[in-house]
Amino acid sequence: MEIEPGDFVAIVGPSGCGKSTLMNIIAGFDNVTEGQVLLDGQPLATATTPPKPGSDRVVVFQNGALFPWKTVLENVMYGPVIQNMMTPSQAEERAMDLLAKCGGLNKVAASYPPQLSSGMQRRVEIVRALINEPKILLLDEPFRAMDTVSKTVMHQHLLEMYRVCRKTIVFITHDLEEAIYLADRVVVMTSRPGTIKSIINVKLPRPRTPNMMLSAEYLALKAQAIAGVHEEAKKAFERGEREHA
What is the binding site for other proteins (CB under 8 A)?
Answer: 27-29, 53-55, 57-59, 61, 63-71, 78-79, 82-83, 111-115, 128-129, 132
Identity of residue 114: P
Closer residue to other proteins in complex, CB, 47/82 = 82
Q: How far is the CB of 222 from other proteins (least distance, A)?
A: 32
Identity of residue 28: G
Distance in Å from the first CA to the final CA of the chain: 22
Are β-strands 36-39 and 42-46 bridged in parallel, bridged antiparallel, or unpaired?
antiparallel
Rounded to 5°, angle at Cα 130 from 182 and 166: 45
Give CA separation, 168 vs 61, 80, 102, 130, 180, in Å. 17, 19, 17, 11, 16
Closer residue to other proteins in complex, CB, 112/237 = 112
Question: Any idea what DSSP says for residue 190?
Answer: P
Q: How far is the CB of 79 from other proteins (least distance, A)?
A: 4
Closer residue to other proteins in complex, CB, 14/79 = 79
Question: Any idea what DSSP says for residue 166?
Answer: -
Closer residue to other proteins in complex, CB, 111/152 = 111
Q: How far is the CB of 226 from other proteins (least distance, A)?
A: 32
Map residue 212 onto helix, strand or coil: helix
Q: How far is the CB of 172 from other proteins (least distance, A)?
A: 14
Q: How far is the CB of 220 from other proteins (least distance, A)?
A: 37
- Dmax of the chain from CA atoms? 57
Q: How far is the CB of 102 from other proteins (least distance, A)?
A: 17
- Other C-beta atoms closer than 10 Å to the C-beta of 104 total 9
Closer residue to other proteins in complex, CB, 18/228 = 18
| CB within 8 Å of 205: residues ≥ 6 apart | none
Closer residue to other proteins in complex, CB, 52/166 = 52
Please count the residues of the chain: 245
